[in-house]
Structure 1
């Protein structure tokens, strides 16, 4: 399961073959700037060679935004709003959010035509929008359980003196899909073909129908992963037993969404340019609920 989470986090760093968010070592990232998670709202978030296209992106920002909105509506039949437009190598990465009929964050890449002062076509990293949609559908199908998870994570974070990502940071930097302060849904659309296909046919698919389809695609609740991410209030890690206790409380709590829970506690700092945790982490054993 850990391999799946690492792959999903890597997808945040690789939005297309022509540029990387992160091509440097851990030490280099530390040197170029970090921010405590409680203060990070997306400042410094950037892509490789974005400075070279920044002027063109600024000039055509409204057109770029509309291209991303149109792409999501045309290909995925979903309305989105734009939270951030970030210059990249010969492109702009548009961080978008869907609020209705489902909620998720994802990214659309809008190209800039080489040697011309024009905006090109939009695209997305393979599978990224699809998995975001599936995560949003899961949260819709089990809204009560996710409301319980929100309350529960707030409670245990306070109990163990831990922090989560700010909503402003999620809006401006996240493309992982359905994400909240202390967790995100990590899954692949290929694992839920019935769910995804049904949404493309009917964006107003009912909760009851979604539950049937999720059960069909994942009868044993093994494919749906909920990554629980907490941060220390200091740039140091807690003891392993604290992380184990967090996982134990998750295991014992009733009324939470079904799935495989992976619990991680990071140090306090966020790498500005990547919007991701900096440094080491402590993990607990995966739990299937």
Structure 2
């Protein structure tokens, strides 16, 4: 198994949603033309593209069954986790394979399979996954498992906010088809830092024994070592009405609510409130008119 090439990793950087720990200073704002935008209510990942991927995507599609089998085997053998493949997207000399874990810990991530475009050959024996991205994804899922009560309160808050009828999140299909970034809901995703030593014993225990129950995993968590800077919850919301600009009032209210709510997960929170539209090819919603509270001015919950 070979490591992912730097070019492939650069291409995959496009999928990383805003506020992620891999590059907190990069807001990745989309300066797209209007004809490249689609309603967030309709965006299901169709049209997503990576640079130089047209030819390799067709080759990958012709070998889809072979790629799916290789991806499933990769995650079973290396991470003791069953996955389903949702999408295969062509990239430079490769294809990106978007997967979702089966059961818990729940997460989305990806693998990369090299492709010889000239020979029209898919080298599934060299399929690989970026170790940091997969570990980050699994740790986020484990956090959600062992702090399910705290996350339920956060999830209930966003559901009630959406029920008021002014903002929405992404639809589930968009997460499946082009998500790829760990534990995700329509409203947020989780990022962990490689230096997060509090969750590491939980991760190690899961790899040793995937059948460990939640209580056992929770007992392995080193709460005294938790550092809020190493755990991020990255929120993206969208205006429900197509003509609506991001609302300062809603933006301010969400920040206030997050700062005042009790018993939600500890850590640092970033918030982006976008207009109604998503860029088709990149799956991004952030634009010049987006309202944001993020690095270095995170919302902090101790």
TM-score, L = length of structure 1:
0.85
Instruction: Decide which of 89, 103, 106 is 2:106's aligned counterpart.
Output: 103
**CA distance change for structure 1 residues 172 and 219 in 2, over 3 Å: closer, same or farther?**
same
Asked if structure 2 preserves the Cα contact closer than 8 Å seen for 1:16 and 1:124, the reply is no
Following the alignment from structure 2 to structure 1, what is the Cα–Cα distance between the partners of residues 59 and 109?
A: 23
**CA distance change for structure 1 residues 207 and 77 in 2, over 3 Å: closer, same or farther?**
same
**Does residue 1:210 correspond to 2:217, yes or no?**
yes
Residue pairs, 1:138-177, within 5 angstroms: 138-159=143-164, 161-177=166-182
Which residue number corresponds to residue 16 of structure 1?
9
Following the alignment from structure 2 to structure 1, what is the Cα–Cα distance between the partners of residues 223 and 66?
A: 41
Instruction: Decide which of 269, 276, 282 is 2:291's aligned counterpart.
Output: 282
Structure 1: gaps spanning 5 or more residues: 1-13
Q: Which moved more, 1:59-68 or 1:196-205?
A: 196-205
**CA distance change for structure 1 residues 228 and 271 in 2, over 3 Å: closer, same or farther?**
same
**Does residue 1:260 correspond to 2:285, yes or no?**
no
**CA distance change for structure 1 residues 20 and 199 in 2, over 3 Å: closer, same or farther?**
closer
Aligned length: 274
Following the alignment from structure 1 to structure 2, what is the Cα–Cα distance between the partners of residues 107 and 46?
A: 15
Deviation at 1:118, TM superposition (A): 2.8
Following the alignment from structure 1 to structure 2, what is the Cα–Cα distance between the partners of residues 250 and 267?
A: 21
Instruction: Give 3-state SS (helix, strand or coil) of 1:134's partner.
Output: helix
Deviation at 1:122, TM superposition (A): 0.9
Which residue number corresponds to residue 233 of structure 2?
226
Which residue number corresponds to residue 8 of structure 1?
none
Asked if structure 1 preserves the Cα contact closer than 8 Å seen for 2:29 and 2:287, the reply is no
The one-character-per-residue Cα deviations of 1:168-226 (angstroms, maximum 9, x if unpaired) are 10100011100001111122344243232222212123323433443347435442211
Following the alignment from structure 2 to structure 1, what is the Cα–Cα distance between the partners of residues 12 and 269?
A: 32
Instruction: Decide which of 280, 283, 286 is 1:272's aligned counterpart.
Output: 280
Asked if structure 1 preserves the Cα contact closer than 8 Å seen for 2:259 and 2:299, the reply is no
Following the alignment from structure 1 to structure 2, what is the Cα–Cα distance between the partners of residues 207 and 97?
A: 20
Deviation at 1:25, TM superposition (A): 8.9
**CA distance change for structure 1 residues 288 and 107 in 2, over 3 Å: closer, same or farther?**
same
**Does residue 1:112 correspond to 2:121, yes or no?**
no
Structure 2: gaps spanning 5 or more residues: 1-6, 16-27
TM-score, L = length of structure 2:
0.81
Q: Which moved more, 1:250-259 or 1:235-244?
A: 235-244
Asked if structure 1 preserves the Cα contact closer than 8 Å seen for 2:238 and 2:274, the reply is yes
Which residue number corresponds to residue 237 of structure 1?
245
Structural RMSD (CA): 2.5
Instruction: Give 3-state SS (helix, strand or coil) of 1:277's partner.
Output: coil
Deviation at 1:104, TM superposition (A): 0.4
Asked if structure 2 preserves the Cα contact closer than 8 Å seen for 1:227 and 1:262, the reply is yes
Asked if structure 1 preserves the Cα contact closer than 8 Å seen for 2:202 and 2:218, the reply is no
Instruction: Decide which of 171, 193, 210 is 1:188's aligned counterpart.
Output: 193
